Structure 1
Amino acid sequence: MNMTGARPGEAFRYEGPTMVDQLWYSINFTSTYEAIEKFILPPPLKVDRDIPPEVQVLYFINPNCYAYDGEVVPYQGLMFMANTERGGRKGIAGWEYVDALHGDKSDMDMMGPWSVYFGMLKKMADINFLPISADEFEITVKRRGKKLIRMRLRVGEEISPDAVKSMNDANTKGTFTVRELPNRDYSGFVDRSICWAPSCENEIQRAWKADRGFIEFGHLPADPLDEIPVLGVSSEIVFQNFCSQRVFTAMELIEELPR
């Protein structure tokens, strides 16, 4: 059980948030509805076609992730998110690449089961964050020796506390996840369901303007990211926030799927 740290009934029995002082570097790019459904959203979720077809890409560092048992599990990641809708409820969904902070992936081996339990795919990768200048940064993601993502942005002036409060007040969308737990002979599932997590309760503490956003994709057969059209980059921002336990302990069952 060392990959989960705590058995059901014993998890999240500590005080305070689960993830403290996360730092996020974010850009949006315009793509197509079809590409978002094929490459970003977990089936059977569909893109929200009342909103322009944008993908949010977020590099993040999560040095103080307290996980299930309250022990620190530091990691970094690069996340894809897009707008979706299910049963009249609007939200976001996606998946992410994850990597250790200090070169030892066993530091964060619980990301495997967390991926399944929470219902958000996490693929292990080699992620590098490189300063290009004092205020400009490049993020790269590699798997199996192949560079799959190269992303850049420049950090600007800090956003005022009042504007940050407005950003928090405007954040009403939670995160949809798709949990799929296999049965004993892998012929079906013991649990296959769509859930909704109240990630809208996460609080941005500080934020900075950003610009010069850029992203390009490479290709592996299991990661054909270069097939995602990038039709324009916008909405660059950097922010620091924390994630409450309720994102994981107050998930709602939205729909049970065929098993």
Structure 2
Amino acid sequence: MIRFLPGIGGRPAHFEPLADALGAAADLAASPALPGHPGTDAGGQDRHWAAPSTTGADPVLDAARTWAAQAGPVPGLLIGHSTGGVIALRAVADGLLRPRALVVIDSNVPVTDTALAARAAKARLAARPDWRSVLRASLARDLLVPEPWHERILADVDATPDHPMRELWAAVLAADTRALWAGITVPTLYVRSTRDVHQRDLDAVTAHTTVVDVGPGHWPHVAEPEAVAAAIRRWHATVATQAPHR
């Protein structure tokens, strides 16, 4: 069983090309929306995360808890894109979910000083009055996908409420990614297309992650779903027979 966790402003439906390539359409239909985002949860109802933060200080943890509670049985494979990948890492690192394996697609989760400094500068953009247009422009620059996906993805970003999108955007860019990676004990595939995240760097903080390069743009699972699916299958074949991590 697979569960899919989309990025900020995204919808589970954005995984349709990849789910089709993996033969996992039914699993996609059961995948909840990112907390606070319009979408269809596993119960088939529109869910809007309008309640205030339960912990008050950690939107990433709040989102991880909310999503994990909606996701149903623990999946064999959890696939997260961008912000969804950060939330997936947090859910697994904190023991909220224990999938047999994890796939993170082009999330901004670097571990080097230089890359972390660049990410911190980007996080400050969330405090600007024009944060929403800045976020949209940032996403649009790397949205190298065919129509109708280009228009559809941007329309979904535009339709996402300010809360908790703004808080999530700032929080995922401020997350302690070194600690996240260090807390991962399940086999993990990082699908890199635009981020400053590399095998040699992750090897310094985790022994459980494999990095593959697949492009183009920040939505490789939409632009090149067959290539991403093939990378997942090749990697998963090497970890499927491993004993579960505890």
TM class, shorter-length: under 0.3
Please report the TM-score for the alignment, with normalisation by the length of structure 2: 0.24
More helix by share: 2
Q: Which has the larger radius of gyration?
A: 1
Please report the TM-score for the alignment, with normalisation by the length of structure 1: 0.23
